[in-house]
Chain A
Amino acid sequence: MAIRLATQRRPPERAQEGAPVALRLLGVTIAVFALIPLISLVQHAATVDPDVALGQLFRPRMAMLLGHTFGLMVTCVAASIVLSLACAWLVVRTDLPLRGLWHVLLTAPLAVPAFVNGFGWVSLTHAVEGYAGASMVVTLSYFPLVYLPVTAALRGLDPVHEELAGTLGLSRTQTFLRVVLPQLRPAVLGGSLLVALHMLSEFGALKMLRFPTFTTAIYDQFNTSFNGAAAHMTASVLVLVCFVVLLVELRLRGRRRYAPTSSGTPRVAARLELGRARLVALLLPGAVTALALGVPIYSLLRWVSIGTSTGRGSEDLLPTALATIVFALVGALLAVALALPVSVLVVRHASRTSTLIERSTYTANALPGIVIALALITFTIRYVPGLYQTAPVLVAAYLIMFLSRAVVSVRSSLEQAPPVLENVARSLGLSRMAATWRVTVPIVLPGIGAGAALVFIAICTELTATLLLAPIETQTLATRFWSLSGGLQYGAAAPFALLMIGLAMPAVYLLSRTPGRKS
C-alpha cells in the first residue's frame, strides 16, 4: 500500500529531474546511429540529377510496381485479419479440441522465413506464381503477426461488456461486431501494420513467386547498377510508401482507449460450446497449419530425399550454421544492450528528447532491409572506407533493422519496475547497486530475454541485407540456401533451410507462451 501511495504522489516519470548527461549523450548517439540509413538515403537521392530522377520515377514499370505492391499489401493485410480473427476466436473463445497445440502451431509459421515458404510452394507447383499465389504465401507467412496480438487481446477482454450487450438484446453476431471487434481494434491495427511493413520489404518469397514489387526491383537495379540512381530512386519511393502506411495506422488507431471500467481482475469469458461443429471447426486451424507449416517442411524434406544434389556442400552446413548463430547472438545481445539506455531514458527520464530518441529507433521499421543495406554501403564507402565490407557493418545493419523490437520488449518490462521499488529497497539499507541488482534486474530480465529472442530469430532468417553486406567469404544459412536454390540444387539447399527453421523454432515457441506485448 505504501508503495502505491508513493507512486501516486510522485509518478515514476518525475522520479529524477534530468537524465545524467552521459546517459543522454549515449541515447543521442544511438538515435543518430539508427538514423544513418535514412539520412544517407535522403542525401544520396538529393544528389541525383533531377532529369535522371524524374525519368526513373515516371517510367511505366514504376506504375506496374506500385500496383503490384499495393495490391499485394491490401490483400495480405485483409486476409491476415480475417484468418487471425477466426483462428483467435476458435482458440480463445470456443471448446475447440487441442487449443493449446493449435495456438503453438498457429504461431510457428514465424519460424519459417517467407522465402523458404515460397521455395517450398513453388518447387512443388508453378501454380503459385503471380498475384494469387504470392498473396497466399505471404499471408501464410505473416498472419501470425496479427494472430498473436489478437489472441492476447481477446484473452484480456472483460466479458462483462459482452454480457451487458446480451442483456440489452444484441445477438451473438451483433455483440461480436459491435462490442468485441472495437476492443480488438488496437491489436488488429498493430498487427496489420507489421504485416504491411513486412510485406513491403519482402524480397525472397516474391522473387521465387515471380511477382515483382518495389523491393525486388531495387534488388534487380542493385544487380545491374550497384548503388546507382535507379536503385536509390526506387528505394525513396518505397520508404515513402512505408511512411504513408505508418501514418495511416496512427490515424486509424486514433486516441480512443478501450480501458476496463472496473479495476478488478476480469473474469475469463465462458467458452462457446461448438457441439457437433467442433470437427468442422478443426478444419480451419488444421488447414492453415498444413498450408503454412506442412507444405514448406514437406517440400524441404522431399528435396532432401529425392534431390540429385543432396549432400553436396553438406560440409558447409555446420560452419555456416555457426556463423549464423554468432551473428544472431552478437546482434541480439548488442540490440538489448542498446535498447537498455533508450528504455531507461523513456521510462525513467521522460522528456521530449527521450521520446525523439525512442522514436528514431522505430524509423527503421519503415526502411526495408535492402534500403538499409544500400544506405550503409554508400555511407561506409564515403565516410568510413576502413569498415567497408566488414562484419561490423553487417551487425550494424542488423541492429538498425531490429533495434526497435528489442526496445519494445525492454521498455515494457522496465515499466513494470518503477524506481520507487528501488528507493524502498535502499531505504531498507541496500546500496544503490545492490538495490538495482536485487529489485530491478529480476523484473526486467524476462523482457530483455524476450527482446533478445525476437532479434535472434530475425537475424537467423534475414536474407536481403545479408546478401548485400556479408563480408567476403562469409555466408549465413539464409544466403547459402538462396544461392544453392537459385542454382536449382534443391537437395543441397534444403538442409540449410531446415536448420534455419530449427534454430528459430525454440524462440518462436517461447514467443507463443508470452502474453502478447507487441505494439
Chain B
Amino acid sequence: MTSRLLAVAVPLLLLTGALSACSQEDDGPFITVYNAQHEELLKELAPKFTDETGIEVKLRNGSDFELGNQLVAEGDASPADVFLTENSPAMSLVEKEGLFAPLEEGTLELIPQAYRPASGDWTGFAARSTVLMYNTSEISEDELPTSIVDLAEPKWKGRVSFSPTGADFQAIVSAVLETKGEAATKAWLEGLAENGEVYDGNNIVMQSVNDGEVETGIAYHYYWYRDQQESGENSSETALHFFTNQDPGAFVSVSGAGVLESSDKQEDAQEFVRWLVDEAGQQALADSYALEYPLNPDVQLDSQVKPFSALEPPVVDVSALNGPKVIELMQDAGLI
C-alpha cells in the first residue's frame, strides 16, 4: 500500500519540482543575440560586455543562413535584439527584408567603409581570410594552384576538400560569383563537386588534411592558427597557402553585426554593437582565442598570424554578396 502510494506520489513531486526549476526567471536587463559566430568566441566576449554595462547577453546559436532565414520567418515577432554572423551574405539577406534598424553614426565611423554596407544597417566587426591548407608531406608548395578557380581542373580530382554545408565556404562561393560571374561559378562548382572530398565543418577538413586523407582543404585562416596555438594536434602536418593578387581565393570575409528593428531594447542592443566595434570590444576580440582579424584600425591582432595588411583580397562590395543565389548554384551542382 505504502509503496504503491510512493510510486504515484514521488513522480508527481518530481514533476512539480522539475517544472518549478524550469520556470526560474532571472531579472535584470538583458538582450537576446542570434549568434552565428563561433559560440566559444561570444562566450568569451559577452561576459566582458556584461561586466562593463550590466547588460546580460543571451545567445541563440546557429549557422548564418539558418538564423538569417529564421529572422525572416519570424518577422516582427522575433525575440532577437541583435544578429551576429560569421559571414556577410546572411546579413545582406536580413537587410533586404528591411529587418534592421540603422546603426548609430558613432558606431559606423569606427569601422572602415569597405567592411560595412553603404546603408549603415549593419557593420563588420571581424574578418577572416580564405586559405588553402595542405599536407606538407603529400604535396609540395610549388604544386599548389595560383588561383582557387584552378581547383576545378581534372588534375585536382580527389585532392581537395571543403565543407559545403558551412556558411564559410558559401561565402567564398559568393566571392567567386561576385568576381567571376555566374557561368564561371557554375562551372567551378561542378568541377569542385567532381573533384572534392566533402566534410562537415572546417575543423574536420583540417583534421583530414592533417591525417593525410586528402592533400588540400579550403577553409579560413584561423582554424589553422588556433590549432597551432593550442597544440598542433590537428595541424602539425599541414601548412597554409594564401592566394594573392586579388584572386577570389584571397577573399576576406566579414562577420557582421546588426540591430533588429523589431527589438524593443534598441538602446541596449545599439550599445552592444557599438561595444563590439569600439576599442574595448575589438581588443577583447584580438586577445581572445579566436585569431580573427579585428576591423577597428586602432586594434591589431598581436600574434604570429599573417598581418591583415599583408593580405591581397579581391575588392568586393560586402552588400553585393548574394547568398540565395549561391545556395541555388550549390544545390544545382549537387553540393548541398
Interface of A with B (CB < 8 Å)? Answer: 59-61, 64, 126, 207, 210, 220-228, 230, 308, 326, 329-330, 333-334, 381, 385, 388-389, 391, 437, 441-442, 445, 449, 452, 472-473, 483, 486-488
Query: With contacts A225-B69, A381-B77, A486-B203 known, is A60 near B7, CB below 8 A?
Result: no
Interface range for B: 35 or more
- Taking CB as reference atom, which chain B residue is nearest A483? B39
- Are A330 and B19 in touch, CB under 8 angstroms? yes
The interface bits of chain B over 209-245 (1 if a CB of A lies within 8 angstroms of the residue's CB, else 0) are: 0010100000000000001001101100000000000
The yes or no answer to B310 lying at the interface (CB within 8 A) is no
CB-contact partner of A61 in B39, B59, B65, B331, under 8 A = B331
The yes or no answer to B155 lying at the interface (CB within 8 A) is no
Query: How far in angstroms is the closest Cβ of chain A from B199?
Result: 7
Query: How far in angstroms is the closest Cβ of chain A from B225?
Result: 14
- Are A226 and B65 in touch, CB under 8 angstroms? yes
Which residues of chain A are near B70, meaning CB under 8 Å?
Answer: 226
- Taking CB as reference atom, which chain B residue is nearest A126? B213
Query: How far in angstroms is the closest Cβ of chain A from B217?
Result: 14
CB-contact partner of B231 in A207, A308, A334, under 8 A = A308
Query: How far in angstroms is the closest Cβ of chain A from B57?
Result: 10
Which residues of chain A are near B77, meaning CB under 8 Å?
Answer: 381, 385, 388
- Are B233 and A308 in touch, CB under 8 angstroms? yes
- Are B334 and A126 in touch, CB under 8 angstroms? no
- Are B73 and A221 in touch, CB under 8 angstroms? no
- Are B66 and A226 in touch, CB under 8 angstroms? yes
CB-contact partner of B66 in A223, A230, A445, A488, under 8 A = A223
- Taking CB as reference atom, which chain A residue is nearest B22? A391
The interface bits of chain B over 197-213 (1 if a CB of A lies within 8 angstroms of the residue's CB, else 0) are: 01111011001100101
CB-contact partner of A223 in B7, B63, B72, under 8 A = B63
Which residues of chain B are near A227, meaning CB under 8 Å?
Answer: 69, 73
26 contacts between A and B (CB under 8 A): A59-B334, A126-B213, A220-B165, A220-B336, A222-B66, A223-B63, A224-B66, A224-B165, A225-B66, A227-B69, A326-B22, A330-B18, A333-B12, A381-B74, A389-B60, A391-B22, A442-B4, A445-B4, A452-B11, A472-B32, A472-B59, A473-B58, A486-B201, A487-B40, A488-B207, A488-B227
Which residues of chain A are near B38, meaning CB under 8 Å?
Answer: 487
- Are A64 and B327 in touch, CB under 8 angstroms? no
Besides the contacts A221-B336, A329-B15, what 7 more A-B pairs have beta carbons closer than 8 Å?
A220-B165, A223-B66, A226-B66, A226-B68, A308-B230, A333-B14, A487-B40
Which residues of chain B are near A441, meaning CB under 8 Å?
Answer: 4, 8
The yes or no answer to B170 lying at the interface (CB within 8 A) is yes
The yes or no answer to B21 lying at the interface (CB within 8 A) is yes
Query: How far in angstroms is the closest Cβ of chain A from B99?
Result: 14
Complex Cα gap A78–B69 (Å): 41
- Are B334 and A445 in touch, CB under 8 angstroms? no
The yes or no answer to B314 lying at the interface (CB within 8 A) is no
Which residues of chain A are near B58, meaning CB under 8 Å?
Answer: 472-473
- Taking CB as reference atom, which chain A residue is nearest B203? A488
Which residues of chain B are near A223, meaning CB under 8 Å?
Answer: 62-63, 65-66, 165
- Taking CB as reference atom, which chain A residue is nearest B166? A223
- Taking CB as reference atom, which chain A residue is nearest B43? A313
Looking at chain B's contact residues, the main secondary structure is helix
The yes or no answer to B158 lying at the interface (CB within 8 A) is no
- Are A224 and B327 in touch, CB under 8 angstroms? yes
Complex Cα gap A62–B284 (Å): 45
- Are A488 and B60 in touch, CB under 8 angstroms? no
- Are A225 and B14 in touch, CB under 8 angstroms? no
Which residues of chain B are near A230, meaning CB under 8 Å?
Answer: 331
Query: How far in angstroms is the closest Cβ of chain A from B223?
Result: 9
The yes or no answer to B120 lying at the interface (CB within 8 A) is no
Which residues of chain B are near A221, meaning CB under 8 Å?
Answer: 336
Which residues of chain B are near A60, meaning CB under 8 Å?
Answer: 334
Which residues of chain A are near B211, meaning CB under 8 Å?
Answer: 126
- Taking CB as reference atom, which chain A residue is nearest B198? A210
The interface bits of chain B over 1-29 (1 if a CB of A lies within 8 angstroms of the residue's CB, else 0) are: 00010011001101100110110000000
Complex Cα gap A221–B69 (Å): 11
Query: With contacts A329-B15, A381-B74 known, is A228 near B7, CB below 8 A?
Result: no
Query: How far in angstroms is the closest Cβ of chain A from B48?
Result: 18
Query: With contacts A224-B65, A226-B70, A227-B73 known, is A326 near B334, CB below 8 A?
Result: no
Query: How far in angstroms is the closest Cβ of chain B from A54?
Result: 14
Which residues of chain A are near B68, meaning CB under 8 Å?
Answer: 226
Which residues of chain A are near B72, meaning CB under 8 Å?
Answer: 226
Query: How far in angstroms is the closest Cβ of chain A from B133?
Result: 14
Query: How far in angstroms is the closest Cβ of chain A from B200?
Result: 6
- Taking CB as reference atom, which chain A residue is nearest B32? A472
- Which A-B residue pairs are the 5 nearest by beta carbons? A226-B69, A61-B334, A326-B18, A308-B231, A488-B203
Complex Cα gap A472–B78 (Å): 13
Complex Cα gap A61–B60 (Å): 31
- Are B7 and A445 in touch, CB under 8 angstroms? yes
Complex Cα gap A459–B200 (Å): 25
Which residues of chain A are near B32, meaning CB under 8 Å?
Answer: 472
Complex Cα gap A452–B11 (Å): 10
Which residues of chain B are near A483, meaning CB under 8 Å?
Answer: 39, 61
CB-contact partner of A64 in B7, B69, B334, under 8 A = B334
Complex Cα gap A222–B73 (Å): 13
Which residues of chain A are near B332, meaning CB under 8 Å?
Answer: 59
- Taking CB as reference atom, which chain B residue is nearest A125? B211
Complex Cα gap A59–B231 (Å): 43
- Taking CB as reference atom, which chain B residue is nearest A336? B11
Complex Cα gap A452–B198 (Å): 41
- Taking CB as reference atom, which chain A residue is nearest B223? A488
Complex Cα gap A272–B173 (Å): 65
Complex Cα gap A118–B207 (Å): 17
Query: How far in angstroms is the closest Cβ of chain B from A465?
Result: 15
Which residues of chain B are near A207, meaning CB under 8 Å?
Answer: 200
Complex Cα gap A220–B164 (Å): 9
Which residues of chain A are near B14, meaning CB under 8 Å?
Answer: 329, 333
